[in-house]
Structure 1
Amino acid sequence: MTVSPTISLVEVLGTMASDKYITAEELEKHNKPDDLWISIQGKVYNVTDWAKIHPGGDVPLLNMAGQDVTDPFIAFHPATAWKRLDKFYTGYHVKDYQVSEVSKDFRKLATELVKAGMFEKKGHQVIYSLCFVSLMLFACIYGVLRSDSFWVHMLSGALLGFSWIQVAYLGHDSGHYQMMTTRGWNKSMGILIGNCVTGISIAWWKWTHNAHHIAVNSLDHDPDLQHLPMLAVSSHLFKSLTSSFYGRKLTFDRFARLMVSYQHLSFYPVMCVARVNLYLQTFLVLLSKRKVPDRALNILGTAVFWTWFPLLVSCLPNWPERIAFVLVSFCVTAIQHIQFCLNHFGAHVYIGPPRGDNWFEKQASGSIDISCYPWMDWFYGGLQFQLEHHLFPRLPRVQLRNISPAVRELCKKHNVPYMSLSFYEANVHTIKTLRAAALQARDLANPIPKNMLWEAVNTHG
């Protein structure tokens, strides 16, 4: 049965007549937890109740409340998510909705990647990584249990550290739903390899990491830059900003000033014990009153780690070797902690909430790629393509190198910065950033004029 063109036209005109419009300024007023609206491609959605059960947590939605979030929505969601939007539709359109040229090109690139099936082509990286990790863990346990040599025990500790690095990459993949084919399997693998093998809660990681992706390099919204009293990447943090993420003031007191004043010297030693902070954060989140998805499973997985790890350490012959074994394993993982810092510490920072209308530009200005040979991709876990990953978080890591030329070309076309440094250059750049902030922190007598001078010279922040 065919549909009359006249009826179709009437239906279309009726739909157009029923559409209601609000301005972007009016949309911005709906930016509170109990009144949370967003727009996607100009259509307005009420996600107040959805934010409470959103798989990515409520923080990303709260940070983007009252804005058009088309580009972030495209970045974080599969095509199937579009079908679920209708139940949140308010009937309103944004009257003055506009799309920038860079956003048009970003969306075009995203469409091309979907059509090419690149989000489904995961390759065999997961299998290779799991085999590699299993081999290292077996060698570590064998060295501890079957050898009496001090140096074999230290090598075993190093292997454990390297295995934790690779497991963290796999946990990262599962957290972004890249590792397995379904959301449920990704969640299960995240708890298994995250909580059970490393002792770091996947629930804590997703809570902070999603906020980091949305508000990359916002000093008051991105938790990955909020490391006072130990580290500060910008003099703006000396003003004791209030963290939107943690809901508390990032106090810059005398102790913080002392530590930050020497942060370019203490950076690497701090990274050697940074893992302790991750364990602490895991405990604080799992035992807190805030809503934690799958809290029981996360606690159980973490308990598994704190059973097998102390038991393995106790098999060493004496306390000096046990302490050395743990320190060696932690020091090896410092390589990964340093890498995470290299990707963002030396990039542009800002104050305030993120905006959905400059998604591409903010991700580019806040991220630094690490250039390396293809045969070293396993070492960096795909995160050397930091900008590519931030633009397309669901894209399997094996595809990041393939899309890098297209992203680079897009940045060039729109005059958007694209930073790609060698591992050595990125370290130098990061230390210079930390040193600049350290020298400003030391100026106790007249900090403001000197801070302004340093901001002018370094154009950082």
Structure 2
Amino acid sequence: MANANVGCSNVLNAIIKEYSKFISTDHCFKLAVTILLCGVTLIWWAYGGSSSSSGGDLADDKNSILKEADLQSLQTEDPSDDSDIDDNDDDDENKSQQTTSSSASSTIAAHPTNNLHKPITKCPTREKARAQGLVLYNKHWYNVSKFIAHHPGGSELLEQYLGTDITHAFHVMHRNPKQIMKYRKPVRGATEEEMEELLQRRNEVSQEMFDEYQEGVMTKSHAADFFNRERFNLEAFEKDAGELYEDFTKAGYTKPTFGFVAQKTALVLMFLFLSVLCMKCASSDDHQSIIATTPLSYILPGIFLGLFWHQSGFLMHDAEHHNLIGNELVNDILGWLYGTVFLGVNGAWWREEHREHHAFLNAFDEAGFKDPQMKEDIWIQNANLIPFYGQELIHFLANFQHILFIPIIFFAGRIGIVVDSTLTERKFRPWTILGNVFHVLLHYAVLSQTSTPIRVYMAGACQFAVLSLQLLGNHHIKPWNNIHSASEGNFSVWQILCTQDFDTPIWFRWFYGGLNFHYSHHLFPTISREYFPITTPRIRSLCEKHGLPFIEVGFVECVTGMVTNMNEVKKEFAKHGAGTLSLVYG
């Protein structure tokens, strides 16, 4: 115990000492290495900071939420004017859509593997309401045309749901739906004919979802527990799902306890401390130390550094979902701390992408991908995505994607996400720049404790790759479909069909950050992960009752499935003579 106390004291003293010698010439080399590895976002900032972006800074969400007076000013002037829709609006909209997507559509239609890019059945009620900027909520039409630009979740999300019944999706995606709708006045009530037509259309889309699920590349190889489409009833499911969510909110599951937050914060700091401690032990004068004389001198501290990033990512996820603290601004600040400073990933950039991931899970349209977090530029995980990969380099890499998949994630995944969070974020944000500086300083202080900073960093990056595999595994082998499936059908049904859980021992659940219970998270994003072990059995029962699949797989089985899926998609790509693949399989 005495040695441990001395070790702790030495570590703290060493960190303070390193900061005091920060500009010393003796440390220039280590500083350069640290900046190269951890500060890559700063190096690339000049290329990504020139134009505006849709993302927000720390308090963007809070500032973009309209106050009562603003909401009242957005009401339609005369509800009766909105009940009749000019057919010319429909013509203009259709012409615009045809113009913007004609080139992409022709490419998609020409590809024989893409059986989902087919014309969408027209729904007159939806077309008219969409042209007028209306959404249906609790059997009433609301005009949101002037509010779209102010939507805290981004204008694209609300635009996609125009003309549809947003009741269920709105409830589960917002923490206080009744308060939000309190100041909005409906244009008019929906007629029985409109309700019936929209319900019929949503049922049709639900059946399309089931068709794609059954035809999926990998879902046939898994036992889809409870899946029985003949037993499914959309209205009954929405009623039960809504009641289940009400039960969860009344039980207080949207608010984590202080003990849970403190425990997870302590876990993050513990791994950082253990990483530094191992480095100090490896560099000690005791040459008989096992850590100092073996590869453990960089593997062990690297693993703990990777776990520090790993668990920081989960807390960033909680904070950016506003599931960590009751105050939105505090959540955004914590998301910045755990994401930008600790993890090295721009928290504001991640928040914007993650919102789209939840709203447009595994979805695409004529122009390309709508789910940015499940899309990768260097491999093709679903046959329906083949038309969007036109580069010959990708065609060549697809020959070997089942072989390269895991090595790329392990050796380039960590650096890749750090670079991406800068290259695709183009709005100048002082807070982000400051966070990047703090990230570099923190990791300089940590990696200065070892004589092998590159090895330690790469060992940590390999450990961090496990997180990447986990997050991809939740959706990777699931169906991809046209975006209308998510917006015109049922939000929760699509989430269920595109998600799976990890079968994890109780003692190891901490490692997965609660996201092993992915059904709970994607069906009800406002629920705190602290309660996922409680909510998951009830969601499983909901799926069983309504004939929907509920799949749990082991981590190894999941990774094996992803690699097998890569191989199957590669063969599908080659079958139609795409790029250089035809040379191998033609």
TM-score by length of 2: 0.65
1-structure distance, mates of 2:124, 2:413: 43
Equivalence for 2:323: 178
Matched, 1:212 2:344: no
Aligned with 2:187: secondary structure?
strand
Structure 1 441/18 Cα, relative in aligned 2: closer, same or farther at 3 Å? Answer: closer
Q: CA 1:134–1:435 in structure 2 vs 1: closer, same or farther (change >3 Å)? A: same
Once the two structures are TM-superposed, the CA of residue 444 in structure 1 deviates from its matched residue by 6.1
Counterpart residue type for residue 139 of structure 1 = L
Give, in whole Å, the separation in 2 of the partners of 1:415 and 1:124: 37
> Does the alignment pair 1:113 with 2:248?
yes
Are 1:224 and 2:373 matched, yes or no?
yes
State the distance in 1 between where 2:574 and 2:80 align: 62
Q: Among 156, 162, 181, which residue is 1:65 paired with?
A: 162
| 2:496 maps to 1:364 | yes
Distance 1:284 1:43 in 2: 42
Alignment of 1:38-49 (within 5 A): 38-49=135-146
Structure 1 residues 126 and 442, CA gap change in structure 2 (3 angstroms)? same
SS at match of 2:352: helix
**Which protein, 1 or 2, shows the higher relative CO under an 8 Å CA cutoff with sep ≥ 6?**
2
23-32 or 147-156, larger mean C-alpha shift: 23-32
C-alpha distance 438-119 of structure 1, shift in aligned 2 (>3 A)? same
Specify which of 551, 555, 558 is matched with residue 419 of structure 1.
Answer: 551
Partner of 2:175: 78
SS in 2 for 1:442: helix
Deviation at 1:180, TM superposition (A): 1.1
CA gap 1:111/1:356 in 2 versus in 1, 3 angstroms: farther
**Distance change >3 Å, CA 28–CA 314, structure 1 → 2:** farther
Choose 143-152 or 102-111, whichever is displaced more: 143-152
SS where residue 363 of structure 2 aligns? coil
* In 1, Cα distance between equivalents of 2:84 and 2:449: 67
Q: CA deviation at 1:423?
A: 1.4
Corresponding letter in the other structure for 1:76: M
Matched with 2:113 is none
1:292-330 deviations in Å (ceiling 9; x for gaps): 8xx32222212211232245335532xxx2221121111
**Counterparts of 1:376 and 1:54 in 2: how far apart (Å)?**
39
1:158-177 matches, cutoff 5 A: 158-177=303-322
Match of 1:307 among 441, 446, 468: 441
Between the aligned partners of 1:121 and 1:324, the Cα distance in structure 2 is: 37
CA drift at 1:405: 1.6
Q: 1:277 — aligned with what? A: 416
Gaps of 5+ in 1: 1-16, 241-250, 451-461
Report the AA paired with residue 173 of structure 2.
F
Counterparts of 2:424 and 2:189 in 1: how far apart (Å)?
39
Partner-residue secondary structure (3-state), 2:134: strand
Residue type of the alignment partner of 2:431 = L
Q: How does 1:293-442 map to 2 (within 5 A)?
A: 295-317=429-451, 321-353=452-484, 354-355=486-487, 357-442=489-574
Residue pair 1:21, 1:93 contacting (<8 A) in 2 also = no
1:260 aligns with 2:398: yes
The amino acid of 1:409's aligned partner reads S
Residue type at the aligned position of 1:83? Q
Q: What are structure 2's unaligned runs of at least 5 residues?
A: 1-78, 86-122, 200-233, 284-291
User: What per-residue deviation string (whole Å, max 9, x for no partner) do you get for residues 261-307 of structure 1?
Assistant: 22111111111121222111221244x15xx8xx3222221221123
Distance 1:173 1:78, change over 3 A: same
Q: What is the CA-CA distance between 1:108 and the residue it aligns to?
A: 1.1
* Pair 1:54-2:151 in alignment: yes
Distance in 2 between residues matched to 1:284 and 1:65, nearest whole Å: 31
Q: Is residue 382–residue 479 contact of structure 2 (8 Å, CA) maintained in 1?
A: no
Contact 2:254 2:526 in 1 (8 A): yes
* Percent of matched pairs sharing the same residue: 23
When residues 446 and 223 of structure 1 are mapped into structure 2, their CA distance, relative to the original with a 3 A threshold, is: closer
> In the alignment, which residue of structure 1 is the partner of 2:381?
233
* Distance in 2 (alpha carbons) for counterparts of 1:51 and 1:311: 45
Alignment deviations for residues 182-211 of structure 1 (CA, whole Å, 9 cap, x no partner)? 212211111111111111011111111111
Alpha-carbon offset, residue 427 of structure 1: 1.8
Aligned residue type for 2:327: T
Judge conservation of contact 1:22–1:94 (CA < 8 Å) in 2: no
CA distance, structure 1, for counterparts of residue 414 and residue 134 of structure 2: 38
In structure 2, distance between residues paired with 1:214 and 1:375: 32
**1:402-422 Cα shifts (integer Å, max 9, x gaps):** 111211111122111211111
* CA–CA distance in structure 2, aligned partners of residues 261 and 88 of structure 1: 54
What letter corresponds to residue 218 of structure 1 in structure 2? A
CA distance in structure 1 between the partners assigned to 2:84 and 2:306 by the alignment: 54
Which string of whole-angstrom CA distances, capped at 9 and with x for unpartnered residues, describes residues 104-159 of structure 1?
11111111112222223546322111111111112222333564236333311110
How many aligned residue pairs are there?
Answer: 410
In structure 1, what is the Cα distance between the partners aligned to 2:489 and 2:135? 12
Give the C-alpha shift of residue 439 in structure 1.
1.8
Kept in 2: contact 1:21–1:94 (CA 8 A): no
Question: What residue number does 1:244 align with?
Answer: none
Question: Is the 1:122–1:396 Cα contact (8 Å) retained in structure 2?
Answer: no
Taking the aligned partners of 2:520 and 2:81, their CA distance within structure 1 comes to 37
Check whether the contact 2:143–2:187 (CA below 8 A) recurs between aligned residues. no
Deviation, 1:43, is 2.2
Which SS does the other structure have where 2:245 is aligned?
helix
